[in-house]
Each structure stands twice: as C-alpha cells, then as structure tokens.
Structure 1
Amino acid sequence: MTNAATAQVQAPSNGYRWMQLIIGVVCMGMIANLQYGWTYFVSPMAKAHSWDVGSIQVAFSIFVALETWLTPLQGWIVDTLGPNRGPKLMVAAGGVFVALGWLINAWAGSLEMLYVGAIVSGIGAGGIYATCVGNAVKWFPDRRGLAVGLTAAGFGAGAAVTVIPIQMMIASIGYSDTFFWFALGQGGIIFVLAWLLRSPQPGEVPSGSAVKVLQSRNSSTPGQMLASPIFWLLYVMFVLVSASGLMVAAQIALIAKDYGVSQTVILFGASTLIVAGVIDNLANGGARPFFGWVSDQIGREYTMAIAFTAGGIAYWLLGTAGTTPWTFVICAALIFFTWGEIFSLFPSTCTDMFGPKYATTNTSLLYTAKGLSAFVVPLANLLKAYTGNWYAVFAVAAVMNFIVVAMALFVVRPMRISISASENKAAVEHAHPAE
C-alpha cells in the first residue's frame, strides 16, 4: 500500500471512532423499550382483551428469540456488504422493522397478531444490536470491554428516560396509542442515524497490543469457533445468567403487584414501580461500561466472579427481604446492576478468544444464547403458580449465578491460560525455528 493510501486510511481521528460509538449507543437506546418497556404494557393488554398473562409473555419470548437467533445471519450480511454499506443498510432496515413491529402491537386484536409484531420487531432489533456491538469491538480493540459496555448500556439504560412517559401515556391515551407513537419516534431516529454508521478499515484503529487481559493471537472463523469447547462453555454460562435476569426483567411489574408495593408512593409523588423502573434501567445500563472497564483491568473471568456472586445474593435478597417498597427498589436495582454486564463481558471474552476479524458474526453466534434463555421466562410463571410465591424463582436464579461463577474461575480461565500459553509457544518456535 502506498504512503498516500495509508494516510487516507488512517485519516479519521480518535474522535471519529468515538462518534461512531455514540451513534451506536443512541441506536441501541432506541430499541431498549422493546425489551425493558414491555412489562408496562402487559397488564393493560391483559385487561383490555382478557388475555392470559402467560400467553402475552410468549410474545416477549418470541421477540427475544428473534432478536438474538438471527443476529449471526445479520452480522454476516453486514460483513459481506462491507464496512461502508453494511452498517448503514442493516441499521436503517432495522429501524423500519422496529417501527412496524410496534405498529402491529398497537393494532393487534389477537394473540396471534401480537406474536407477529414480536417477530417483526425482534428481527429489526437484532440487526441493530448485532451491528452496533460488532462496530464497537472493531473500533476499540484497545478498550474492548468499555466500548462494548457503553454500547450495551444504550440498550440497558435507554428505557430509563421513557419509563415515566410510557406509563403516563398508557394511563392517559391507552396502551395502543402509546405503542403507535413510540413506534414512529424510535424507528424514525434509528433510520436517520443509520446513514452515519460505518466500520473501520484496516489501519484505522489502535493496536490492541497494550491490553491487560488474555487475547488470542489468531482470528477464528465462525466454523472454527463453533468447534471449540470453550465457546460452548461460554454459551451455557450466557444462557444461565441471561435467563435469571430476563425472568425479573419481564415480570418486574407483576412481582411488585404481588408484593403489594407497586402503587405505593415513595418519592416525589412517584410509585414504587415507577421509581424501580427508572433506577433498574440506570443500574442495568451503568453495569455494562462499569464492569466492562473493570474487566479490561483485572480480566474477564475475575470480573464475572465478582458480578455474578453479587447477583446471586441479590436474587436471594429480593425473595426474602424485598417485600417493602424501598427494599424492593434496592434489591431489584442490585439484580439489574449485576446482570446487565453480561452484554459487555461475554462479547469481549468472545472477541478476546476468537479474534476481531469475524467478531460481528462470532459475537452474534454467542448472543443467540439470550434467545434460548428467553424461553425460561414462562417457566418462571409456572414455578410461581405451583409454589404460590416468587421465592422459589429467585432461589433458582441465585443458584444459576453461582454455577456460572464456578465455571468462570475453575473451567474457563484455566482453559484460556492453557490456550494462550500454547499460542505463545508456537509464536516463539515460529520466530526461532530449531536449527
């Protein structure tokens, strides 16, 4: 490559990649309500149509499944279209699908139509999620945990600013019109911002050589990654932690109602549920860059151990001590703070292990674990109905988190150390072949 060509490739400033990151964060924030705002629509829909809550929650599971399971294909499309066209076209199309999905929800007169809306919005959200996370790990090899954490924070905390407007609009104009106006607003913003996105060209990003965590010297293809046992260990860990968090995210309004605290006014005229909704989304979003940054400093597995141990304790506390308004708010916030970081830790760990070249597709393949975990959510309703309370649900969630801590420390980390040692040995032998 000529010096002129090299200069052209390296032209974007450090500020440009931060601009790309910010656009990704905003786009993620615009799809946050599809998951984290859902809980506020469940009871109004059940009341308006006499639908069973468990049947309505099937739509939530469908959304999460489609939002995750198609991301490998969507990531492959982005990579195939290239760094300039791929991100733009995928996110723009995602904005259209997101808007259309909630418009269908607004007009749905049957559960079947509600499920169609979940399918459409899930496809759109997945394309946006895969593209924005893929861009983050590519633009920031030197701060991968932080960058992915900030991107994922948009998805986790984006709903925080709309918790109150959504509940106020549902109360004043009904859930259907609320779906309608948020569909147009969120989808429109995504569609406009999409045309500013692109992925980096070779030579545009800093070297990741100064990082403090284990990183592979090689980039594995999706096929090579799927053949690796450590990928499937990460997959199982992701399913366990994701399922525990989704059970609470989808049911938080119902849990507060069963505890008898949802409508209790506790702060500036706001009810327990509204205060919890704001704080939970902030905690969920804040956890992602915080633990992502921590993992850049001390390593992914040690960070997982700290976060998921605290998470297991938080689930137990919500089941035993969360039955008053303020303890409910605090315990729920602790759960979201120790759950949200999976969306920064697991993509970072995956890219550390399998390299950045195919990162969009590889991280998307791991992200499909969230789709599998979504189908645990209705089981929480069944367990609650069988036992008559939420305690057993939280006990199961706590155990799931403790299992993941043990896997991270005593299985995954030793395997990664062994793999890194083998790569270093091979590199030395290649550089100094035996005479």
Structure 2
Amino acid sequence: MSEGTSILKSKWVQLALGVICMMSISSPQYVWALFTKPIMGQLGVTLTELQVTFSILIVLQTFFSPFQGYLVDKFGPRLLLSIGTILTGLSWVLSANLTTVSNLYITYGVLGGLGTGIVYIGVVGLMVRWFPNNRGFAVGMVAAGYGIGALLTTFPISNSLAESGLQGTLTFFGYLIGVVGLLAAQGIRVPHADRVQTAGQIEAAASGVAPKTMLKTPVFWLMFLMMSMMSTSGLMVISQMGAFAKDFGITSATVFGMAALPLALTIDRVTNGLTRPFFGWVSDKLGREYTMTIAFGLEAIAMFLWVMTRSDPLMFVLLSGIVFFGWGEIFSLFPSTLTDTFGQKHATTNYGFLYMAQGVGSIIGGPIAAYIHGVADSWIPVFAIMIALDATAAILAFFVLRPMRAKYMQARAA
C-alpha cells in the first residue's frame, strides 16, 4: 500500500476533501447576485426573466436530489463528484458567451443545478458513513464549507467583473472552481469495513432502510415537515432581508462606521456557516432532538427580538447574526438524524428525499413572504409566521419527534 493511498483512508483527510468539494460548488448560488446586473445588460432582459435562471438552479439542486443520491450510491462518490464538479464549472464557462436567456437557463440553471446537487448530496452522504460517531459535526463541517465557501470568491469575482468584464470572469472562475473541485474529488474514498471498529457498527454500515420503505414511515414525514418549516422560515429572511431592511429604515444606517445592511449580510454568512459544525457537535453529545429544540427555539426568540427592535441599526445587525445562527444548523442536524434513524446503506439516496424540503422552502418562502407583505402592507405578519414556524418545529422536535423516533428505532432493532 502506497503512502498516498494510506493517507486517503484517513477520515480527516476525507473530511477536508469534502469541505473543498463543497466550497468549490458554493459560488453559483451565493454570488449569483453579482452577475444579475451585467447579464441583464448583455442579454437585454428583465430581472424577472433573469431570475428564472436562479429558480431552475435551486429547484434542480433540491428536487432531483433523490435521483442524484441514487446515482452516488450506485456508481460511487468519486465518479459522481467528479462529474458534478465538471458540470458546475462548465455551467459558468458555457454561460460566458451566451446571447439568449433561454440558453442561460440551460447552462447556468440546468447544468449548474444538477452539478451542485450531485456534489452536495454525495459529500453529505459520504460524511455520515465516515463519521458514524460524530455525524453531526462532520456533516456540519462540509455544510459550512458550502455555506461560507463563497466568501473566498465574492470579492475576487466582484473585482474581476470590474476589470475583465462578465465573459472573462465567468470563463476564468468557471475553470477555477471546476478544476479545484475535480482535483479534490479524485481523493474521495468510501470507508471500508476495516474502518469500522465494533461489530455493531459493521452491522449498521451493512444494513439500512431502503428509500421505498422509509417513505412509508411517519417519522420520515415528520422530519420532512419540520425541515420544510425551518427552510421556509430561513428563506423568507434570505429572500426579503433587503426589502424589510429598507422598510425598517436600516438601509442608510451605519454601525461602527460601516453600512448596516452589508455588515449584517457579512455576519450572517459567517454565523450561518459556524452554526453547522457547532450544533452538529452539540447534537453528537446532547442528542439530536434536544439540540433541535434549543436551536430552533433560539431562532424563534431572536426573530421576536429582531422585529421588536427593528428600527435600531445595532440590534438589527446583531440579531440578524443570531437568527442565522439558529437556522443554518438544519443542514447538519437533519441528515445526521435521518442516518441515525434509517441506517447507512442507503444514506445518500435517503437524504436526497429529505433534502427536497429545502426545495419546498425555496419555492414558498420568498413568494409567500412577498405576497403577505403586499396584502398587509407590513412585515409584522411575515415575522409572525416565521416565529410560529420556528417555535412549532422546536416543540415538535421535543414532544413528537423524540418519542416517535425512539419507538421506531426500538421496533427496527427488534
């Protein structure tokens, strides 16, 4: 056995490679806002027409995830992650010289959505297998890589757009993210049985509930409902934050000499990333449902205080960070809880079905928030709904999911 092969069998090396893969695919979603204005100028389209591209990206990333997870389980993560990273980079390279918005839908939207979805599902499914005793932490780390990975590219892409234009930027960074992700994917390995220490863990790794059976269980649909509620609440904030900051009079305010809204958005990205490994680690120690109750309750309380102090720029900035600290952990808690419940064998495909809840949130979160605000001419009803969703999810975690999951696992063991 070569030294290189031996190193690749380290779960920590696999975790690092997974984080790199996730960081390489984060830019299509998180820096999209930088491209909207120059693309509108190049193609001569409206913002409404252009935003269909982003919707396609998110929908294909989430609603195709069960199929993508099945492919990863069938053909292995190394091959599929390689394909996913190539598709992601290619989506930008091909978008660089387009002259019609319909072609942009296919390149940036379809190729980007399929590519990022394969990598996201594949990496999460791999980590729950490499870290059977620390799933929350490991999944949280790779999810954080996706959440804050675009921080490394946001300013360089912004500068490149000013200096090299849209075509040069998309081409250069398309090749860059594709090559970085592809190189990291070459080191990806599936854990072998000799990595599992106990007989119980070997049995758990070999067994697992198939998706067809899982979809018939009430405990899965309760988790799907809870993740949909939390996703909807969080995406209501993400999609409308600029709008309600303007209505609250925050847009022109400064905090510590910096513009309040950009400062809040920067802090939000950091806390949204940090919360994933933090609460994942807490759940490894304290238990999944107890941690859900704490985190979801924290967001509900922060939301309430946020709207109560909405005209105070300093509180707006600080509480927005706490709100995102109480939201981002859904991407570590739910996949860990799902694999704990239904086993490792079909973990990637199974999480693909649960991850569709994020798609539900992306579809209803933004439009519903905008519609309610339009009808009520106020953001207060929107905040009331977000607080209710968070608080209900916290209560369900403690009083319903905890006993239901315990009963299911006892029955499965028997």
What's the TM-score once normalised by structure 2's chain length? Answer: 0.87
Aligned equivalent of 1:72, options 61, 66, 77: 66
Q: Distance in 1 between matches of 2:261 and 2:41?
A: 18
Contact 1:46 1:56 in 2 (8 A): yes
Q: Distance in 2 between matches of 1:167 and 1:259?
A: 28
Aligned equivalent of 1:245, options 234, 245, 262: 234
Q: How does 1:207-218 map to 2 (within 5 A)?
A: 207=198
Residue segments in structure 1 that go unaligned for 5+ positions in a row: 1-6, 427-435
Contact 1:36 1:250 in 2 (8 A): no
- With over 3 angstroms needed to count, the CA separation of the structure-2 counterparts of 1:285 and 1:206, relative to structure 1, is farther
Q: Distance in 2 between matches of 1:108 and 1:322?
A: 43
What is aligned with 1:184? 175
Aligned equivalent of 1:142, options 133, 155, 158: 133
Contact 2:206 2:345 in 1 (8 A): no
Q: Report the alpha carbon displacement of residue 66 of structure 1 after superposing the two structures with TM.
A: 0.7
Q: What whole-Å deviation, never above 9, does each CA across 1:354-391 have from its counterpart, x for those lacking one?
A: 01111111111111111122101223222333333433
Aligned equivalent of 2:214, options 206, 225, 233: 225
Residue 311 of structure 1: SS of its match in structure 2? Answer: helix
Residue identity in the other structure for 1:360: T
Q: Distance in 1 between matches of 2:302 and 2:156?
A: 28
Number of matched pairs: 408
- With over 3 angstroms needed to count, the CA separation of the structure-2 counterparts of 1:391 and 1:165, relative to structure 1, is farther
Return 155-164 or 276-285, whichever deviates more: 155-164
Matched, 1:102 2:92: yes
Q: Report the alpha carbon displacement of residue 400 of structure 1 after superposing the two structures with TM.
A: 1.0
Aligned equivalent of 1:16, options 6, 10, 14: 10
Aligned equivalent of 2:319, options 303, 328, 331: 331
Q: Distance in 1 between matches of 2:410 and 2:266?
A: 45
Q: Distance in 1 between matches of 2:246 and 2:89?
A: 30
Contact 1:69 1:368 in 2 (8 A): yes
What is aligned with 2:143? 152
Aligned equivalent of 2:357, options 361, 366, 369: 369
Contact 2:8 2:187 in 1 (8 A): no
Matched, 1:395 2:384: yes
Contact 2:129 2:344 in 1 (8 A): yes
Residue 385 of structure 2: SS of its match in structure 1? Answer: helix
Contact 1:142 1:206 in 2 (8 A): no
Residue 10 of structure 2: SS of its match in structure 1? Answer: helix
Matched, 1:276 2:259: no
Matched, 1:25 2:14: no
**How many percent identity over aligned positions?**
38
Contact 1:101 1:121 in 2 (8 A): yes
Q: Report the alpha carbon displacement of residue 339 of structure 1 after superposing the two structures with TM.
A: 0.8
Residue identity in the other structure for 1:418: K
Matched, 1:128 2:119: yes
- With over 3 angstroms needed to count, the CA separation of the structure-2 counterparts of 1:395 and 1:48, relative to structure 1, is farther
What is aligned with 2:344? 356
Contact 2:42 2:99 in 1 (8 A): no
Residue identity in the other structure for 1:21: L
Q: What whole-Å deviation, never above 9, does each CA across 1:113-165 have from its counterpart, x for those lacking one?
A: 44332222110000000110011001110111111111111111212333443
Q: What whole-Å deviation, never above 9, does each CA across 1:57-77 have from its counterpart, x for those lacking one?
A: 443332221111222222222
- With over 3 angstroms needed to count, the CA separation of the structure-2 counterparts of 1:358 and 1:244, relative to structure 1, is same
What is aligned with 1:429? none
What's the TM-score once normalised by structure 1's chain length? Answer: 0.83
Residue identity in the other structure for 1:20: Q
Aligned equivalent of 2:291, options 276, 300, 303: 303
- With over 3 angstroms needed to count, the CA separation of the structure-2 counterparts of 1:321 and 1:165, relative to structure 1, is farther
Contact 2:341 2:409 in 1 (8 A): no
Q: Report the alpha carbon displacement of residue 110 of structure 1 after superposing the two structures with TM.
A: 5.1
Q: Distance in 2 between matches of 1:259 and 1:56?
A: 28
- With over 3 angstroms needed to count, the CA separation of the structure-2 counterparts of 1:327 and 1:172, relative to structure 1, is farther
Return 219-228 or 33-42, whichever deviates more: 33-42
Q: Distance in 1 between matches of 2:28 and 2:194?
A: 36
- With over 3 angstroms needed to count, the CA separation of the structure-2 counterparts of 1:257 and 1:56, relative to structure 1, is farther
- With over 3 angstroms needed to count, the CA separation of the structure-2 counterparts of 1:13 and 1:96, relative to structure 1, is closer
What is aligned with 2:401? 412
